[in-house]
Chains A and B, each alone.
Chain A
Amino acid sequence: EPEVTQTPSHQVTQMGQEVILRCVPISNHLYFYWYRQILGQKVEFLVSFYNNEISEKSEIFDDQFSVERPDGSNFTLKIRSTKLEDSAMYFCASRDLWGTGELFFGEGSRLTVL
């Protein structure tokens, strides 16, 4: 069964360092998303992406964040200068153009900022 894959599964970084989280969405999907979940809190929307541009972003997604689809398969989230409060599980999701609108999520990348 097709699935969304994310790497790395866990990354530990020092405050102020740049981090890139990678995602391979399901192959025929055209809408891509990043969400995050701080430990013990709700899953929160960060950004949606379609046709090589950001469609919508939340108030969390400030200038420190960026997304890119560098090739036909990868979708990346970059955090330019990490802060302690960026520590969270980051989820990538995708869905197809037609169909039910169901979102499919990856297993997540756990980011720990020290």
Chain B
Amino acid sequence: QSALTQPASVSGSPGQSITISCTGTSSDVGTYNLVSWYQQHPGKAPKLIIYEVTQRPSGVSNTFSGSKSGNTASLTISGLQAEDEADYYCCSYAGNRIFVFGGGTKLTVL
């Protein structure tokens, strides 16, 4: 059960777009379309922003989008805003009743 691989940090200026990658294996991300993404601000509980690779929960801004290619899922945030500065985590079902998170990515809005 190795953690999914995410970049430790990414940054972008307001209005720009950034992409965060989440690399797993053929046993998790590559096999299941059950990748979700969470946003976590300091001292707060995580918030679901993308599920089933591309789906956005009601109330989540359409500036957030998800995709997947092979063993790598991606989260794109377009039109960066200051409030997007947070930690982002991917999560995938890994079969055998197991789930696995990525190590997390700290997004800095410059």
**B partners with A:** no
> Which residues from chain A sit less than 8 Å from chain B, CB to CB?
none
